[in-house]
Structure 1
Amino acid sequence: MDQLFLYGAPTFFIDSDHEKIIAFSSRHAGPSDNPVKKAVSIFYAVRDQIRYDPYEIPNHQEGFKASRILTESKGFCVSKAVLLAACLRAQSIPARLGFADVKNHLTTPKLKAKMGTDLFKWHGYTDIFLEEKWVKATPTFNLSMCQAFDVLPLEFDGREDSVFHPFDAKGQRHMEYVEDHGHFADLPWVRLMEAYRIAYPGYFESGGISGDFNAEAKALHPDK
């Protein structure tokens, strides 16, 4: 029970007590009192209303706060996992952050060139306590981006893990989980940024890079 309390309390990054987080989560939790239904509804709101953008890795702590991510309505995998955790905690649903290294077989030439690899270190997802067990939820890719990349969108029913598909809609390699880094009650910002700066020195040169990931995806798949 102590751990569940820990995973339900607001933190610096998972600021579930922020008025914007409370309002957004309440609006999308739906009328049901069932935690599973609430979690599922909030998952889809975060998945599709917050645009996935791998060029949005903040280089300062404030940029990783859930309320800031909600305001900007875009972010990369860790950002969206933080926001989902905050929205769930705001509805009294215990949630924590999980991290794993994943090999991404679908990326854009520009992003891969800057990162220097297709291995995404410390990919973030949300772990949710529902019906007396933990289930993984990955709200990373919004529906429109999945359609642009011809990737199967991740669904979530609140009872089974929602993790990246190993193959895309055409049967090509998509995601491969390489190493698990465990779970955390709040974002381990120092460890995260140290890992990113070591793995992707080119990404953080001159204050980072900019780009339109969705436009790049559409350029690779003009028929979409």
Structure 2
Amino acid sequence: MDYLKATYFFDYGHKAIQHIVASFTEKSVKEKAIGIYLRVRDEWRYDPYSISLAKNSYKASTIAAKDSGNCVEKSVLLIACLRALNIPARLHLGKVKNHLAVERLTEKFGSNELTPHGMVNVFLNGKWLKMSPAFNKTLCARFGVDPLDFDGENNSFLQQYNNEGSLFMEYVDDYGHFEDVPVEFMKRNIKEHYPHIFGTNDTTTEFKL
């Protein structure tokens, strides 16, 4: 599989993506990966309450034009940026359970489980590493959780505990990795887990909770 190619979703030839990566092109591969990870993590606010089933919503250039995104959207943006910098990257999906500040999640989703949860696999120094750009630094500060840093050598995708030692997040299912954005799989997954939001025959494509 080609984890460097541009696709409909990872449209890194778009001027919006090229603008994001422009300041990283002269750095080392490791510096590129770390720098672009931090930029996507912190410059796009995490918003789990905006759900879309529209194909266009998952184009990297569409996401780049916003100031926020859910975990899948931020992962798509990061992958496009990494590929633009000639670093192989792919989307990894799973299901996570949040244990802190879950009242609104439970109210809106009917559960404290979020699915599909997106993260990124990046190929550096001959191995695939996991990293999650979802939770921006200001959000982490609000919930008393250290932000996930990435050192270019180790996995960085799970904030299991907050700073007081309380359980924060856990992975409860792993859907594996994908060369491109599996929109049809994501639609089925969302409708299966949140039928009260998107019924199986619902034609709505976007929902702001």
TM-score (norm 1): 0.86
Confirm or deny: 8 A CA contact 1:114 1:202 kept in the other structure: no
Q: Give 1:177's aligned residue.
A: 171
More strand by share: 2
1:22-61 correspondence to structure 2 within 5 Å: 22-27=18-23, 29=24, 31-32=26-27, 34-61=28-55
Confirm or deny: 8 A CA contact 1:80 1:139 kept in the other structure: yes
Confirm or deny: 8 A CA contact 1:107 1:118 kept in the other structure: no
1:207-218 correspondence to structure 2 within 5 Å: 208-210=207-209
Confirm or deny that 1:104 pairs with 2:98.
Answer: yes
Confirm or deny that 1:192 pairs with 2:189.
Answer: no
Confirm or deny that 1:19 pairs with 2:15.
Answer: yes
Q: Which amino acid aligns with 1:128?
A: V
Q: Give 1:167's aligned residue.
A: 161
Report the 3-state secondary structure (helix = DSSP H, G, I; strand = E; otherwise coil) of the residue aligned with 1:8: coil
Deviations 1:165-190 (A, max 9, x none): 21111111111111111111111001
Q: Give 2:3's aligned residue.
A: 7
Deviates more, 1:79-88 or 1:179-188: 179-188
Q: Give 1:221's aligned residue.
A: none
The count of aligned residue pairs is 204
Confirm or deny that 1:132 pairs with 2:131.
Answer: no
Confirm or deny: 8 A CA contact 1:96 1:183 kept in the other structure: yes
Q: Flag structure 2 segments of 5+ consecutive residues without an equivalent.
A: none
More helix by share: 1
Report the 3-state secondary structure (helix = DSSP H, G, I; strand = E; otherwise coil) of the residue aligned with 2:153: coil
Matches of 1:96 and 1:155 in 2, distance apart?
Answer: 19
Q: Which amino acid aligns with 1:174?
A: F
Q: Which amino acid aligns with 1:103?
A: K
Report the 3-state secondary structure (helix = DSSP H, G, I; strand = E; otherwise coil) of the residue aligned with 2:111: coil
Matches of 2:168 and 2:42 in 1, distance apart?
Answer: 20
Confirm or deny: 8 A CA contact 1:47 1:139 kept in the other structure: yes
Deviates more, 1:173-182 or 1:86-95: 173-182
Q: Give 1:95's aligned residue.
A: 89
Change (3 A) 1:180 1:113: same
Matches of 2:197 and 2:41 in 1, distance apart?
Answer: 25
Confirm or deny that 1:156 pairs with 2:150.
Answer: yes
Confirm or deny: 8 A CA contact 2:25 2:85 kept in the other structure: no
Q: Which amino acid aligns with 2:208?
A: I
Report the 3-state secondary structure (helix = DSSP H, G, I; strand = E; otherwise coil) of the residue aligned with 2:65: helix
CA RMSD of aligned residues (A): 1.5
Matches of 1:116 and 1:107 in 2, distance apart?
Answer: 14
Matches of 2:13 and 2:6 in 1, distance apart?
Answer: 6
Deviates more, 1:53-62 or 1:123-132: 53-62
Q: Flag structure 1 segments of 5+ consecutive residues without an equivalent.
A: 211-224
Q: CA deviation at 1:202?
A: 3.0
Q: Give 1:220's aligned residue.
A: none
Matches of 1:148 and 1:30 in 2, distance apart?
Answer: 33
